[in-house]
Structure 1
């Protein structure tokens, strides 16, 4: 599969970014399925690489607010967008501890939601790796399901926009910029591997 083929396919989704700058779950999954049909396999590892790309992209929001590193599921020190490796854990109990740490950060600093969302992008990547499949219900959108099922890219969009779609403090221009990067750079780089 050539990257140019995936570039063309993903570019066709730019017009599906909503007026508030969002790219819905159903549109993202439609794109994933279209790529899988194009290449003839499930591309699960490509999906996980895309999740890593999103987590690494959002990571500076965490480090801009909190000076400590997450115990795992965070980008390794030399991670870049061209080599987005996370220090993942194979232990579901450790992953639960990370979720608790992030929940506690939200309780003690509710205004830190964007930074915590950056940490949750890392957590969601690790969660999906351990599950081995997507668990988000077909036909649902993020606002209709528990946030524990949101994917890394959605958490990253929250981190980079400064909040969720429904929050007044969130910047739709920054959200749109994230999804443009996602479609133009991250998806082609992740799925063409």
Structure 2
């Protein structure tokens, strides 16, 4: 199954949202569970993997949703909030950081990856894709893994300077390591 999904990574290193959702649905059926716990663990692993990008640019944690001390992609844990007001404040905090300039975008994407885990945990479900990829929906509905891929690649697929090889490496890690670990946990 992993090899099949690795072949679906585009030449520019992208793994489409619809493809990721197909994978999650196939694993949900295969495992016979609702899959939310595994999905959230996977999302947290992606956020923790991208977290060093935040720390390279900013020297503070997020008000909520930062990885706890000692968290790793293999043992991901974020300090989540269940307060919708605080979750909104976190989004504002990240928006304000983004206004500092385009050089902050990859780091803010790492923060947004953490925020997206908290959002999905609070909602009790991931956002259902309304299109084939992230450009078809509002960025507030993007998956934690997608934000993490932006952080790791140094930008979104459409941004100059983004590294498609690093993006591809992120999605290969996602498929080979993060997905199996999250769905087997």
TM-score, normalised with respect to structure 2:
0.97
Structure 2 gap ranges (5+): none
Q: Residue 124 of structure 1 corresponds to which residue in structure 2?
A: 116
Cα distance in 2 between the residues matched to 1:63 and 1:135: 27
Cα distance in 2 between the residues matched to 1:151 and 1:165: 15
1:9-39 alpha-carbon deviations (Å, 9 max, x no partner):
2332100000100000010001001111111
TM-score, normalised with respect to structure 1:
0.93
Q: Residue 31 of structure 2 corresponds to which residue in structure 1?
A: 39
Cα distance in 2 between the residues matched to 1:11 and 1:186: 14
Q: Is the 8 A contact 2:50 2:148 kept in 1?
A: yes
* RMSD of aligned alpha carbons: 1.0
5 Å-filtered alignment, 1:158-169, equals 158-169=150-161
Q: Residue 14 of structure 1 corresponds to which residue in structure 2?
A: 6
- Which residue, out of 74, 78, 93, partners 1:82? 74
Cα distance in 2 between the residues matched to 1:115 and 1:40: 36
More displaced 10-residue stretch of structure 1: 108-117 or 42-51:
108-117
1:41-82 alpha-carbon deviations (Å, 9 max, x no partner):
221100000000000000000000000111110100111122
- Which residue, out of 68, 72, 76, partners 2:60? 68
Cα distance in 2 between the residues matched to 1:38 and 1:44: 14
Aligned length: 185
Cα distance in 2 between the residues matched to 1:187 and 1:28: 10
Cα distance in 2 between the residues matched to 1:138 and 1:38: 24
Structure 1 gap ranges (5+): 1-8
